Amino acid sequence: MCGHLHQKRYIPGESYQMDFRSGKVWRRPTHSINTGTFCEFLVEGTSGYGDQKNEVAGTPIGTATLSFSAEEEKVVGHI
């Protein structure tokens, strides 16, 4: 999870983990999330990050969250 001013998003994926004792590699799920924004993005009359960076897509004010279901062994992201 990473705090992020102008973009909240959730990206599920996989990473590879090495078990050095056995020499085997296994895949595990990963969940990357930008936690949300509490500031307006691209506000008229102000100069900020979004004005100075190309191709930045702002998202509405709000939060991004992760939901964990131990019974289903599932993680889901919500924005």
52-69: pLDDT as tens digits: 666 666 667 777 788 999
Whole-model pTM? 0.57
Percentage of residues of the chain with pLDDT beyond 70: 67
Identity of the amino acid at 3: G
As a whole number of angstroms, the distance between CA 79 and CA 73 comes to 20
Q: Among 46, 44, 50, which residue's Cα sits nearest to residue 6? A: 50
As a whole number of angstroms, the distance between CA 38 and CA 56 comes to 17
Listed by start position, the domains of the chain span: 9-78
* Digitized pLDDT (tens) for each residue of the chain, 79 residues in all: 877 666 778 889 999 999 999 999 999 999 988 876 666 666 677 666 666 666 666 667 777 788 999 999 899 888 8
As a whole number of angstroms, the distance between CA 31 and CA 3 comes to 14
